[in-house]
Chains A and B, each alone.
Chain A
Amino acid sequence: DTGVSQDPRHKITKRGQNVTFRCDPISEHNRLYWYRQTLGQGPEFLTYFQNEAQLEKSRLLSDRFSAERPKGSFSTLEIQRTEQGDSAMYLCASSLVGTAINTGELFFGEGSRLTVL
Chain B
Amino acid sequence: QQQVKQSPQSLIVQKGGISIINCAYENTAFDYFPWYQQFPGKGPALLIAIRPDVSEKKEGRFTISFNKSAKQFSLHIMDSQPGDSATYFCLVISNFGNEKLTFGTGTRLTIIP
- A-side interface residues toward B, CB under 8 Å? 4, 33, 35, 40-45, 48, 55-56, 59, 91, 93, 100-106, 108-111
| Interface mask (B40-56 → A, CB under 8 Å = 1, otherwise 0) | 01111110010000000
A98 and B93 CA atoms in complex are apart in Å by 11
What's the dominant secondary structure at chain B's contact region? strand
Of A41, A44, A101, the contact of B93 (CB 8 Å cutoff): A101
Interface set of B (CB-CB < 8 Å, partner A): 1, 4, 6, 9, 31-34, 41-46, 49, 89, 91, 93, 95, 98-106, 108
Q: Do B46 and A104 touch across chains, with their CB atoms under 8 A apart?
A: yes
Residues B98 and A55 in contact, CB atoms below 8 Å apart: yes
Given contacts A103-B49, A104-B46, contact A42 B31 (CB under 8 A): no
6 pairs of residues in contact across A and B, judged by CB atoms under 8 Å? A40-B108, A43-B89, A48-B98, A100-B32, A101-B93, A104-B49
Q: Are A105 and B34 in contact (CB under 8 A)?
A: yes
Residue of A40, A44, A101, A109 touching B95 (CB-CB under 8 A): A101
